[in-house]
Amino acid sequence: MIIAVPAERTIEETRVAATPETVKKYTAWGFEVRVEKDAGNHAGFADGDYQRTGAKIVATPQELYQHADIILKINAPLPEEIQYLTSGQIIIANFQALAHPAQIKTLADKGLVCMALDMLPRISRAQSMDILSSQSNLSGYAAIIEAASRLNKAIPLMMTAAGTVPPAKVLILGAGVAGLQAIATAKRLGAQVYAFDVRPQVKEQVESLGAKFIEVNQEHFETSGGYASETSLEYQKQQHAAITAQLATTDIVISTALIPGKKAPILITEDMRKQMPDGAVIVDMAAASGGNVEGTVNGQSIKIGNLEIIGNSNPARLIPATASKLFANNIYNFLASQYHTDSNRIAFNFKDELVNKVCVAQNGKILI
């Protein structure tokens, strides 16, 4: 079997879907691994590192994809890559299929098999393959570090001969994997941390990390996938009031709230934003889905008055070495679950829940 690892062409993407460590495991299976030239440069993996673990370095996408059985990517292939792909090839990536149905249709029409690891079921044996958890965890950390580097004041409490510096106040909107890691990181930096989530059951997790949970007095339920669903108008009014009150003294906001397949909910309006102190920083991690903050521009950092809003849905790209390592391990674990030692091949079992749930296109059909 031939595994192809291309250089990512999505703007500002720094990660790579295979590391020298995982390439070594694939070559140990007896597979041929092709890596596009300079694919791992941003993550600190030189072509020579891949070659030493058995990979073949190729110069062009056309050569890379020719006769490849499995293609490992961070993001879905762009049109400039699709021209080189052929029917029956298997692509494993983060497709965000619910948000990009037209893209999936193009790939399905091409006869490609698309395995979207972002669609993995939330079951125990899928944990080691879960790209959303591994990357969200890193993104929560990186978002706090990015915000702290932009803030015009110190984060921790400092008691000095020249005077006392109060700790910065941080608000985390959404207490999923990214939000919880953001809380933990902000606390380690010495901030006073507050968190809001529509799911009251996450209060215990938030408080266990040392943050104060902002409560809204209305019971709310989550979807079967563990994500928050849309809220009622009455709930939104209470939410608006609670968050607005907190924003008046908040130095950093990290917003992470998403609803799968839908536009991200607006949690901070223009009027609410105006309540924040001068020099405050917002990192909107929902920017690619429209943003949680009115005025967010995906992929850009903008100044509105003395406030900075960073539209960054992929903070993990800021730490590409670590992010690539975890992403590559997730893919390897998924492939290992379908590897057959007797035939020395990867044969996907489409009756397996893992495969069935992640396959979003096959035989020219869209499966979501």
Q: Residues 9, 47, 218, 227: which is the catalytic one?
A: 227
Q: Residues 9, 122, 199, 345: which is the catalytic one?
A: 122
- β-pairing verdict for 163-165 and 158-160: antiparallel
Active site (annotated) includes residue 232? no
Active site (annotated) includes residue 227? yes
Supply φ then ψ for residue 13, to 5 degrees: -75, 130
What tokens does 35 get?
A: 């890596």
For tokens 């489409």, the residue is 350
- 206 with 180: CB under 8 angstroms? yes
* Closest of 241, 253, 145 to residue 193, by C-alpha: 253
What tokens does 72 get?
A: 């490992």
Polymer length of the chain: 368
Active site (annotated) includes residue 238? no
Active site (annotated) includes residue 236? no
Q: What is the dihedral of CA 199, 134, 91, 41, to 10 degrees?
A: 140
Q: Helices 131-150 and 320-336: crossing angle, nearest 10°?
A: 170
* DSSP string across 87-151: TT-EEEEE--TTT-HHHHHHHHHTT-EEEEGGG----GGGGGG-HHHHHHHHHHHHHHHHHHHH-
Supply φ then ψ for residue 248, to 5 degrees: -60, -25
DSSP designation for 286 = T
Max Cα distance, the chain (Å): 72
Active site (annotated) includes residue 130? yes
Q: Residues 62, 83, 87, 127: which is the catalytic one?
A: 127
Residues in Cβ contact with 129 at an 8 Å cutoff, skipping those fewer than 6 apart:
117, 120, 330, 331, 333, 334, 337, 354
Q: Walk across the sheet containing 281-284 and list its strands.
A: 212-213, 192-196, 169-173, 252-255, 281-284, 307-311, 301-304
Residue type, 238: Q
Q: What is the dihedral of CA 12, 16, 17, 18, to 10 degrees?
A: 180
Q: Residues 89, 96, 103, 133: which is the catalytic one?
A: 133
Q: Residues 26, 103, 118, 130: which is the catalytic one?
A: 130
Q: Please list the active-site residues.
A: 122, 127, 130, 133, 227
